[in-house]
């Protein structure tokens, strides 16, 4: 997929995998150089909504691209209402993904902390880590509000050959509490953390990783407009000053969405 041009892509498969949550696989004409942690802009088929909706790449191959998303509002609900055979415009893949080279991962006990809809981008990472031979050192902690979400994507993580631990806020399935509670409960001692989920969860992951001096990479999925670095609608405060603009800001859509936890003020 060309990084700057929108391409029309056919919906090959659509499945509702939990209440309000959809998996959609597109056929893409050109090879997709997407990496885990990157996102695509998906344009609802409705001229009234000119802006795309940023959605993480949950899987990609030469000819297909998968997204998993919640029908949260007007844009994503309109996308969810489309069916196999329909064509949608996609842009991307955009942004900086998770580093997973041997220097970053080498032999470390790796945990993937997935809060709710943080799971799709980490699923793609799980696949790549497994293909690189690190699966045996990886555990995915999947956190859900409650059992009504039917531990969506848990089987996909297991299919990648990595261990899975489920937690729910109300204890209706798996460990009671959040993903960090589950890490503590299982006694896993992480040497490397990847995390994606709601901001309060990522703040807690940053605090935990800084206290324990564990390298952590977090994906920030806050609101976005243009998705290509122009509108400044997605800035996050950073510890370091940007040498060009001389401010403590980074654009999530271009410098992120993945950051080292210690780099950002959240």
The site for ligand FES (CB under 6 A) is made up of 224-227, 229-234, 251, 253
Which of the choices ligand FES, ligand FAD, none does residue 257 contact, using the CB cut-off of 5 to 8 A by kind? ligand FAD
Q: What are phi and psi of 250, to 5 degrees?
A: -140, 150
* 55 near ligand FAD, judged by CB under 6 A: yes
**Which is closer to ligand FES, CB of 52 or CB of 174?**
52
Token pair 């992120």 is found at 256
Give the SS3 label for residue 58. Answer: coil
CA angle 224, 98, 140 (to 5 degrees): 105
**Burial tier of 196 (Cβ tally within 10 Å: 0-12, 13-18, 19+):** buried
Q: Which of 137, 124, 144, 154 is nearest to 189 (CA)?
A: 137
Residue closer to ligand FAD (CB basis): 111 or 253: 253
Beta bridge partners of 250: 236
* Bridge partners of residue 39, in order along the sequence: 56, 94
105 binds, among ligand FES, ligand FAD, none (CB under 5 to 8 A by kind): none
Query: Which of 182, 149, 175 lies closest to 68, judged by CA?
Result: 149
Q: What is the dihedral of CA 198, 42, 157, 159, to 10 degrees?
A: 170
Q: Which of 25, 28, 39, 192 binds ligand FAD (CB under 6 A)?
A: 39
Cα-based angle 99, 183, 240 (whole degrees, multiple of 5): 40
Interface mask toward ligand FAD for 131-160; x: CB under 6 A: ------------------------------
| 92 lies in the site for ligand FAD, by CB under 6 A | no
At closest approach, how far in Å is the CB of 137 from ligand FAD? 25
Indicate which of ligand FAD, ligand FES, none lies near residue 222 (CB less than 5 to 8 Å, by partner kind). Answer: ligand FAD
CB of 156 to ligand FES, least distance (A): 28
156 binds, among ligand FES, ligand FAD, none (CB under 5 to 8 A by kind): none
Structure tokens at 248: 């403590």
Could you say which of ligand FES, ligand FAD, none residue 231 binds, taking C-beta under 5 to 8 angstroms by partner kind?
A: ligand FES
Q: What residues make contact with ligand FAD under the rule CB under 6 A?
A: 39, 53-56, 68-70, 72-77, 117, 120, 221-224, 257
């Amino acid at each position: 997929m060309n990084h700057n041009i929108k391409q029309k892509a056919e919906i090959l498969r659509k499945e509702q995998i939990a209440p309000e949550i959809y998996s959609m696989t597109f056929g893409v004409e050109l090879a997709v150089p997407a990496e885990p942690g990157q996102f695509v802009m998906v344009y609802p088929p409705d001229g009234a909504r000119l802006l795309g909706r940023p959605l993480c790449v949950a899987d990609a191959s030469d000819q297909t691209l998968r997204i998993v998303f919640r029908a949260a509002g007007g844009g994503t609900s309109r996308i969810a209402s489309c069916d196999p055979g329909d064509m949608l415009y996609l842009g991307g893949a955009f942004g900086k993904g998770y580093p997973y080279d041997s220097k970053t991962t080498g032999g470390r006990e790796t945990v993937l902390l997935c809060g709710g809809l943080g799971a799709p981008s980490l699923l793609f990472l799980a696949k790549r880590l497994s293909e690189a031979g690190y699966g045996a050192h990886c555990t995915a902690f999947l956190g859900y509000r409650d059992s009504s979400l039917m531990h969506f994507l848990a089987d996909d993580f297991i299919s990648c050959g990595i261990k899975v631990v489920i937690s729910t806020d109300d204890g209706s399935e798996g460990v009671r509490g959040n993903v960090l509670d589950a890490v503590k409960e299982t006694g896993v001692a992480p040497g490397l953390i990847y995390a994606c989920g709601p901001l309060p969860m990522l703040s807690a992951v940053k605090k935990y990783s800084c206290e324990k001096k564990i390298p952590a990479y977090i994906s920030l999925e806050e609101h976005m407009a243009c998705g290509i670095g122009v509108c400044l609608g997605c800035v996050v405060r950073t510890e370091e000053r940007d040498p060009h603009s001389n401010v403590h800001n980074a654009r999530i859509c271009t410098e992120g969405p993945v950051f080292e936890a210690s780099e950002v003020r959240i």
